[in-house]
Amino acid sequence: MLWNRKTEIIDEDAGLLDSCRKGDLSAFEVLVRKYEKKIFNLAFRVVGEYEDAAEVSQDAFVSAYRSLDGFRGDSTFATWLRTITVNLARNRLKQSRTRRFREPCSLDDPLAGCGSCSIDPPSSGPSALQQLEREELRQRVRDCVGALEPGFREVLVLRDLEEHSYGEIGSLLNLAEGTVKSRLSRAREAVRDCLKRVAGEW
């Protein structure tokens, strides 16, 4: 572990990072295996598309590896990696929205983020109808979260889905803690209003 006196940060990955900087690729592979699921989940919750999330995750690790010499330990490696992921996901989300705006859509297209929503419950589990209702509710929540402006969506994802503290979110997004709380409150209110509208149309 590395003790950073200036910022009083203990990084459990410091030993692996030192090995990476010395050219030990296997040490970085250990970091990838350690964080790949968490990074993918974070990316998916921000961009909402499996393929985009997979690319963002891969790009995040590539970017981190290439930038290791510039990482000075002002945060833990995990926090730094999440920051890279959020920034890449933010850019990918903007690109995707621009692409969808320009491309015609079909009523036959599958729902976003639900490319493999097959329902095959075990005999002892909920009925197919219950499964379908739950999936429809989850999809509505995803749609409402996806409709948020990126700044509000990121805060909501990091707090309510990733369960980061306000301070951690502020560090990740370079925001004051008060701004994080304000955006989170507005994001939650917007999602509630969206779900009420959807429920009224159902």
Residue 74 is given by DSSP the state S
Comparing CA positions, the residue from 146, 72, 47 lying closest to residue 60 is 47
CB 14 within 8 A of CB 4: no
Q: Residues 109-164: pLDDT tens digits?
A: 554 444 444 434 444 555 555 666 677 777 788 888 888 888 899 999 999 888 88
**Burial level of 195, CB count in 10 A (0-12/13-18/19+)?**
middle
Q: Assign 72 to helix, strand or coil.
A: coil
**What local confidence, expressed as pLDDT, does residue 8 receive?**
56
**What local confidence, expressed as pLDDT, does residue 120 receive?**
46
- What value does the CA radius of gyration of the chain take, rounded to a whole number of Å? 19
**What local confidence, expressed as pLDDT, does residue 26 receive?**
92
Residues lower than pLDDT 70 in the chain: 1-9, 97-133, 200-202
* pTM score of the predicted model: 0.64
Residue 9's CB: how many other CB atoms inside 10 A?
16
Domains of the chain: 1-100 (1.10.1740.10), 126-202 (1.10.10.10)
